[in-house]
Structure 1
């Protein structure tokens, strides 16, 4: 499982965006002088003549993106289940039962209540709560971690999680098994579209999270003699539940 983090405290985003940058001009001037260059007054974003990253799966329909997503998940050792929101409780019950899960750690996310997701499981549920001091310990001892995702990348079978005080990233990293709930409408072609979405959120003053995690299936490592080991640094098993009507 790979996870790349971009972050700043969400509850401090307003103050973060308004923070002053001190001594920038003097620093840049000194740096330019040492390099024998003039101090740049403005920096223009380059426009690249060729941008193939936007052409891949450009005209794919949402159904086609799901097909690509499912195919890639076969490669990254991840199960995919397709369902609708009114069947989520049954799907979670069956999946938890198949994993012999006795305890679940989940985000503090109103959608779990909205779709009554845990109504049919007998497992003990711990919901991440920023007021509790033992969130990480509770999550570490859980058999299964369950979260919604905020975006998903068809090309790589990757889900994107916007972690914050109610959505601890430990939920997707510490339990032996991880289940991601993936609204179909949030599946985009690839990394390009995901990073553009994050950039737009930041530009609009809505910094999405304390960190942004890109997760592609269960933990994998082939560092030792190129032998693939699944579950080296995180969950051993991963299931993505694609929700077709969300």
Structure 2
């Protein structure tokens, strides 16, 4: 399929800017200065251990398995989760943190077992990466920011961080460095805003994942796995 051609883009956007108040690239939108900011008071004095407790409790509400471990026991914990999910195929993101925790060697040993497969996301061959993700039992990524209040994993889908890893496999496992846990969405949006203010490059896509895929109709009949993984597990790792 051939790509379309964009014409009159500048004129079109200029017209829209004029309609909504004369916004232009050289005249950025000013952020409102609110006199009351209740969102910043939520769990503002919680330490990391308290945030872990909040996350643990929230995982129960969002039907997500929760595990707390350390770097020395991470492989053992991961092996336990994979066994409970009856995993035979794994796809994982191209993230240096996997090397930090010596997981490539773990995956290598996993793949030695009969009928087991492991695939590392490859940006140079996205079609193959997506194809494997579609049939993989488990997708594994590291969390970039973790929201304790809602039990949400935030993924900055940079190069090597294919979105399909967390969306297409049957089940999903997020490895959560304890230091990534913050109270709520407020801190995540603050971080992104600071990146923009500094002129830093931000991810083309930021995913917010809250447990397994859930969908409910008007009668509130819950169906799991319609738009993504059926099961999800968060493995919190003591990293400080």
TM-score, normalisation: structure 2: 0.84
Q: 1:142: Cα distance to partner?
A: 0.7
Matched, 1:161 2:161: no
Residue of structure 2 equivalent to 1:227: 221
Q: CA deviation at 1:231?
A: 1.3
Q: Where do 1:58-207 residues align within 5 Å?
A: 58-118=44-104, 119=106, 120-122=109-111, 123-132=116-125, 133-207=127-201
Contact 1:221 1:230 in 2 (8 A): yes
5+ residue gaps, structure 1: 1-20
Write the distance in 1 (CA, Å) between the matches of 2:87 and 2:231. Answer: 12
Kindly report the root-mean-square deviation, in angstroms, between the aligned alpha carbons of the 2 structures.
2.5
| Structure 1 residues 227 and 26, CA gap change in structure 2 (3 angstroms) | closer
Q: Distance in 2 between matches of 1:87 and 1:42?
A: 48
Write the deviation string for residues 24-61 of structure 1: whole angstroms up to 9, x where unpaired.
997489548xxxx9999785432111110101111111
User: 2:23–2:29: 8 Å Cα contact kept in structure 1?
Assistant: no
Specify whether residues 204 and 224 from structure 1 end up closer, same or farther in structure 2 by C-alpha distance, changes over 3 A only: same
CA distance in 2 between counterparts of 1:42 and 1:171 reads 35
Which has the larger displacement, 83-92 or 189-198? 83-92
- SS of structure 2 residue aligned to 1:234: coil
Q: Following the alignment from structure 1 to structure 2, what is the Cα–Cα distance between the partners of residues 214 and 228?
A: 20
- Name the TM-score, length of structure 1 as normaliser: 0.82
CA distance in 2, matches of 1:31, 1:108: 43
Corresponding residue of 1:55: 41
Q: Which runs of 5+ in 2 are unaligned?
A: 1-8
Does the C-alpha gap of structure 1 residues 94 and 48 become closer, same or farther in structure 2, counting only changes over 3 Å?
same
Aligned length: 222
What is the Cα deviation at residue 93 of structure 1?
1.3
Q: Is the 8 A contact 2:63 2:212 kept in 1?
A: yes
- In the TM superposition, residue 104 of structure 1 has moved relative to its aligned partner by 0.2
CA–CA separation in structure 2 for the residues paired with 1:96 and 1:197 = 32
| Structure 1 CA distance for aligned equivalents of residues 34 and 217 of structure 2 | 36
Q: Give CA deviations for 1:151-198 in whole Å, capped at 9, x if unaligned.
A: 000100001001123000111011111000001111010001101101
Which 10-residue stretch deviates more, 198-207 or 134-143? 198-207
Structure-2 separation of matches of 1:39 and 1:242: 43
